[in-house]
Structure 1
Amino acid sequence: MVSTPIKDIEQLTHIQPLNKRREAKMMIHAEKVTTEKYPSEAWIHVYTDGSATSAVSNGGAGIHIDFPCGDNLETSVATGLHCTNYRAETEALIQAASIIQHCTEDCQQVVFLTDALSVLEAIETDKLRNLSTKLQQITKTRQVVLQWIPAHCGILGNEKADTLDKKEQAKNSSATTSNSKRKTPIIKAIMRSPKNKDSYHLLTRQQQVTLFRLRTGHNRLNSHMHRKFRLASSPICTCGQEDQTTEHILHRSPQQQKIREEIWPHKESLATKLYNNKKDLERTMLFVV
């Protein structure tokens, strides 16, 4: 018996080629994540993208933001004549965070959607302190989530951000260098620590890292490790009741009930445990250590 090549079967049956079917499946999953986990009527969607010509020069960053009210904002910035994809992606997130920090939109939830997995991993390991600091400033007034999405899978906001950064790359290289030099003091001013330290900055560096991870959900709890990296077999807590998230551990997990009652004799809100004064933040650090 002579077998029919897969390519011929696909043509005869009108079934899409395997690689196309995989792309379609990824596109559906990506759309489902953004629409179900972060509904547009309740979340600010911030799409960022960055790249460089041949991955090493003339970098550009693109930002597309959709607000729950129906408005949107688009911008692009040059990231330097000598620039890598990684740096361009990082700059895109820094610029987007600065925009969100100063915007007047009433929505208290914002999700940053990026295809730069390496940048997200660097944030988790505290390798991008400037970006982490900027995101930390936003968490004082809004819930912040960082969400990875696959590149070029038909997500409109991501495609728009990609188009914007490509336009920036196409600009004259001398203008790119000039723009980069002008932005440098602006970015440094934005990243400069405030003279009057808030409760977060009164903590030790290690405590700041731990608190940042609790606030953003980018931590080693099962929910994140399973959904992001498949490094946990399930998102469920070892208590078996629900997903192991920051809120579950701080509020409901029966395994931590005894120490929870010792640290917080009276019921406290999640906001108090994560955003209040230095004393409350230190209690939370004592709980999670």
Structure 2
Amino acid sequence: MSAQRRGPSPERLHITLPPWTDCSGVAIRLDVGAAVSREARDEVRRAVAEEHLATLPDQATWIWSDGSAEGGVASGGSGALITLPSGEERTTRTPAGAVCSSTRAELVAMRAALEEVQQLEDATSATPLVLCTDSQAALATLATGAGEQRTTLGAEIWRLLLAAPDRPTWLQWVPAHCGLPGNERADELAKKASSLPQAAAPVDVRSLTKAVDRAASKAWRDRWPDSFFRRIMRDRFPTPVLNETREDAVNVHQLRAGHWGLSTSYLHRIGRHPTPTCQQCEDLKCPAALCLVCREEADTPEHVLLHCPCLAGMRLRLFGNIHPDATRLRDGGAVAALARGCLRHREPAGYGRP
């Protein structure tokens, strides 16, 4: 039997840099000095970034690197623009892997650019180096230090940064998509690199593990039955119910799951709310299953949260609409408020919590 063809083995870090490695020659900056929000206009973000970049050495080797990954998880592409002190430009384009995160693609771009610079200059070069990237996550990974890297990629980047011990080096974050020429060109290179053959690009264990987790999670969500819960969540996981009591949290999860332990229809179905005419049944049209607040239909979770006319005012305040889409019920606080409102309406008529 012929052996099956396999792709490149996942990368594993076997040898780390010693914790006493001197990293003082490398400055890593995760901001551009002044606070600038993502919502600010492009020209504002660009002006702030350019003002800060002007404080860095002009006569230096400048690298603009960027990474791209389809959906942030696949078909990684890495690109970099290198400008030498002479004004000469070089570019790199590198596939980052069929399974790849955006952060990994960014780190692959840095490594490829630093390798290119190493080939152009000797190990004794003291020419300053400035590397600009729009990935704070990638820089934060490197900022933990040379001896704290947990991946082969991170360790290799630090080895390249320290290859010329007398070289002053800056790793600088810049805002993305605001018109910085170097960043825009690196972005184009990364997108083009994502279409390169990925077969030879190694996959790191972290990306591979996350890919398996995503695939298993999607397969599980695809098997969810057609239900009220699926109408609310679609293909998302419910988030923890924060800032509510345990009783409220239980009500939220039960209501969204479609089985509320405090509904009259549920209690009648299990024999906890009998009437002289019907001791127990599963008929939602049975008078014993009707909503105790409006008496129009059975108080199923869908009725309580979306249809009960007595809670229309509360839905209007919470959602801006008395007939909100079911997906608005992802808000645990709103569901808890509707549950409390329903129970308060029941209390004056003598129907408190069973």
> Per-residue displacement from partner, 1:70-90 (whole Å, max 9, x unpaired)?
111112010111111011011
The CA RMSD measured in Å over matched residues stands at: 2.5
Letter of the aligned partner of 1:47 in structure 2?
W
- Answering whether residue 132 of structure 2 is matched by residue 110 of structure 1, we say no
Distance 1:46 1:91, change over 3 A: same
Structure 1 residues 57 and 21: CA distance shift in structure 2, 3 A: closer
Deviation at 1:21, TM superposition (A): 5.5
| Alignment CA distance shift 1:116-1:20 (3 Å) | closer
Contact 1:68/1:107, CA 8 A, preserved across alignment: no
Amino acid aligned to 2:187:
D
Q: What residue in structure 1 maps to residue 199 of structure 2? A: 177
CA–CA distance in 2 between the matches of 1:100 and 1:122? 21
SS at match of 2:93: strand
**Aligned pairs for 1:76-225 within 5 A:** 76-104=93-121, 108-125=127-144, 126-127=148-149, 128-138=154-164, 140-171=165-196, 175-178=197-200, 180=201
Aligned residue in 2 for 1:31: 50
| Counterpart code for 1:62 | G
> Can you give the 5+ residue segments of structure 2 that lack an aligned partner in the other structure?
1-36, 205-354
The offset of 1:107, in angstroms, is 6.6
CA distance change for structure 1 residues 116 and 21 in 2, over 3 Å: closer, same or farther? closer
> Looking at CA atoms only, which structure, 1 or 2, has the larger radius of gyration?
2
- Contact 2:92–2:112 (CA under 8 A) maintained in structure 1: no
Distance 1:22 1:58 in 2: 31
CA distance in 1, matches of 2:136, 2:106: 10
Instruction: Name the CA distance, whole Å, in 2 between partners of 1:123 and 1:21.
Output: 27
1:176 is aligned with what amino acid? Q
Question: TM-score w.r.t. structure 2 length?
Answer: 0.42
Distance (Å, rounded) in 2 between the aligned partners of 1:120 and 1:164: 20
For residues 130 and 38 of structure 2, the distance between their equivalents in structure 1, rounded to whole angstroms, comes to 29
Aligned equivalents of 1:71, 1:54: Cα separation in 2: 34
Between 124-133 and 71-80, report the one with greater CA deviation. 124-133
CA contact (8 A) 1:56 1:82 kept: yes
Give the equivalent residue in structure 2 for 1:63: 80
Q: How far did residue 130 of structure 1 move?
A: 2.6
Matches within 5 A, 1:8-19: none
3-state SS of paired residue (2:103): helix
Higher helix share: 1
In 2: Cα distance, 1:37 partner to 1:102 partner: 27
Contact persistence 1:59–1:79 (CA under 8 A) = yes
Say if 2:132 and 2:171, in contact at 8 Å, map to a contact too. yes
The count of corresponding residues between Structure 1 and Structure 2 is 159
Distance 1:91 1:99 in 2: 12
Q: Percent same amino acid at aligned positions?
A: 30
- Say whether the 8 Å CA contact 1:115–1:149 is kept in structure 2: yes
Structure 2 CA distance for aligned equivalents of residues 158 and 44 of structure 1: 15
Q: 1:65 to 1:19 in 2, by over 3 A?
A: closer
* Post-superposition CA distance 1:208-263 (Å, at most 9, x none): xxxxxxxxxxxxxxxxxxxxxxxxxxxxxxxxxxxxxxxxxxxxxxxxxxxxxxxx
Alpha-carbon offset, residue 20 of structure 1 = 7.7
1:46 maps to what in 2?
63
CA distance in 2, matches of 1:107, 1:69: 15
Q: Deviations over 1:159-217 (max 9, x none)?
A: 1110001011134xxx2223x25x99xxxxxxxxxxxxxxxxxxxxxxxxxxxxxxxxx
User: Can you give the 5+ residue segments of structure 1 that lack an aligned partner in the other structure?
Assistant: 1-17, 185-289
